[in-house]
Structure 1
Amino acid sequence: MTGVPGAEGPGGEAPAALSVSAAMGLAKGALESVVVRLVGEVSELSDKPGYKAVYFTVKDEKAALPCMMWMNRYQAAGVPVAVGSLVEMTGRFSLYAAKGRMSFDVFTIALAGEGQLRLQVANLARELEAMGLMAPERKRPLPAYPQTVGIVTSPRGSVIHDMLRTLRRRYPLAKVLVAGVPVEGPGAADAMVDGLAKVVFGGAELVLLGRGGGSFEDLMPFNDRRLARTIAACPVPVVTGIGHEPDTTIADLVADVRASTPTAAAEAVAPTRQETDGRLAGLGQRLGRSMELRLTGAARSVERIAALSLFREPERLFDGEALALDDLAGRLSRALPAMLREDRHRVGLLAEGLARMLPSALAAPGAAVAASRDRLAVRGATLTDRFAGQLAADRQRLLGAAEHMADPFRSALSVSAARLHDLSPLTVLARGYAIARDGEGAVVRSTAQVEPGAPLTVTVADGAIDCVVEKTR
């Protein structure tokens, strides 16, 4: 190749030797002419204050490449490069001749694939943490013996069967509400939010949210902002079992309890029969000891009360009253005879005074009564003279009117009496007729009412005849 330093000359002469700097310059020129776009995982990073550039290394399964990016380009890109990030870069190869080191001069950089998703998740995690949704003090304890357990997961696959099998084996008393929702792909996060609301509305006392393992992209619905806020605001505790042990999502961080797998989540909410028996046995022992202590204390209290003099000699309660009563009775027995004698003497004096005063007190009214009686006797005979004439005239008018008042009634009474006499059965009997009655007193109107041998009573004008039917015709 003619014109290239170090190349073989015409006629096959040996090439001219190059200096190291010339060779490195040749290589530098060749490398810097190659501009490529590549993807790699950051394995080392050096971003110290005061540096003019950011230095890092990207690698894949077979190779590693040192990179550098001037600080003004790095800050303009706005991508926080970290170890483990998957980045996509454009740039050219460069050679540092003084040290003989090759590096990749980065023009642009961006997170690639999962790296971008991880950045979004990290930003959301920091936002929710600043809001206090991940604080340990807001996480609620799980009920020891839930009556109703809600499950929000895919209705297909092994996860739902593992959860149901675990609950049935460890805690068969619980009622299980299942909300079958998609856990992967577009719309999965909204479906899980709706499923949480439905199982809580159905009466679930706690909710299991889970799915099986998958890639970071597969688990992205569990890193949804709305799902995270729904879990934090859920009125009952939420237990997550998402993926495998290393997998951690936003839903795990805001949940009340995070389990490593869906099966572990079911085990966290379902006590085993041995645990339940042990807890009941412990409660029974504590209750027995508590009742024994209470009964012992009550017995001692009763003994102390029974030992009081109040219960041994109850009559002592009335010692003071009994003494006072005896004293009053003695005083009354001494005072009563004297009081009775004094009252008896006083009554005698009043009787004597009344006996002396009564005749003279009645004399004056007696004379007035006698005078009034005499005057009434004199005037009594003349008091009715002026009314006598009027009274005689009224008496005559009343007698005259009374004689004529009964005339209409006498005529009606005569007509009614005549009609009653005509209709009377006695009148009929008087004309020679008779009335026949059977043994029950019913009037016999037909021969069909009696049979031979039946008794009859025949009533005539002056009495009744008892007879027996011989035959009918």
Structure 2
Amino acid sequence: MKSKVFSVTQINTYIKRMFQSDYALRRISIKGQVSNCKYHSSGHIYFSLKDEESQISCVMFASARYNGLQFELEDGQEVIVDGNVSVYERGGSYQLYAQEIRLNGIGELYVAYEMLKQKLYEEGLFDHEIKKPIPKNPKKIGVVTARTGAAIHDIISTAKRRNPYVQLVLYPAKVQGEGASDTIVSGIRTLDQYGVDTIIIGRGGGSIEDLWAFNEENVARAIYEAKTPIISGTGHEVDTTIADYAADLRAATPTAACELAVPDITEVMEGIANREYTMAALLKQIIRRYQMKLQKYQITIANYDPRFQLQEQKMRLSELEEQIQQVMKNKMTGYKHKLELYAKELHGLSPTAKLINGFGYLEDQNGEPVTSVHKVKEGGQISLTISDGTILAMAKQIRTMDEKGK
């Protein structure tokens, strides 16, 4: 016997009736942490409630918000939600239909956020005195964000529109999830060493969990230690992260961060044109002032004819020339007389001068001077140089001074 076959709608309707018939689910209060909170244009609020082990989808319709919600619902808040659990037949999923939402203290992430913010504030990481100025005319700008996504596309399009000559250097980083903060830190340090003029860090908007990488302590300290100015553009205008406080400049969005980092070339060109006009006007004033001075000097020169002064200077120059010539002539005579005396003294000291009086210069056959009889052998050739020539001779007999005395 075949079992009865049901349609999907029949099953969903049956399950919904089971939920509705359960008294406990018709009026229930659930506590948890808000996550993935989204405000729809219709006025409805879609979010999730979660604890350490599980989560449940929730919706609060616009009609229930007026009396049931007295504050701005945000991610990370610990709340108590009153409502009923039922099945959405079309989607086949169950969810909590909220009638009233009350705060149940600050969420764990917000507690951690506030504690870290206070700690870093007390350490001085947020002090305005340490903020580095953003370069006005950068050539290279580093970007630490995801390789894909709206943030990098917005930054690229904004940079091209404002100044296409500025080079963008992307360090692709994880911007959410496990290990995201480590890649952001690595990107900051890499670009800081690379030598860019400014660094932009950021991502698009999201829940507090999505943005949490920018609330990590290691990211804040990397920003603080960097030598390069850093602009933080994380999330939307309502999002403020620890990185925003630590950065040298905070922007509401990645697009705004790029606008702060990249100067508008149109404004730059207008500024140059204005400066050019100002400089031209000042130059005209300076030229006019010197023209007036020149006219004044021309009048002065006209009143004092320089031809007479020139004639007197010529006479003085002629006298100086004669004096110089006379001094040079006297010095030349004195130097010439000294030179003659030195020549005579040198001639008296010359060895060739002594040869005139019968002296000679004796050399052996090798051309070495003979300074002793022991350097000459009997029968050896010797040469004798006198004042007017050289005599070649042979040593027939050699006697020492002692032998000669005997």
TM-score by length of structure 1 reads 0.43
- Structure possessing the higher radius of gyration over alpha carbons: 1
Of Structure 1 and Structure 2, the greater helix share is in: 1
TM-score by length of structure 2 reads 0.50
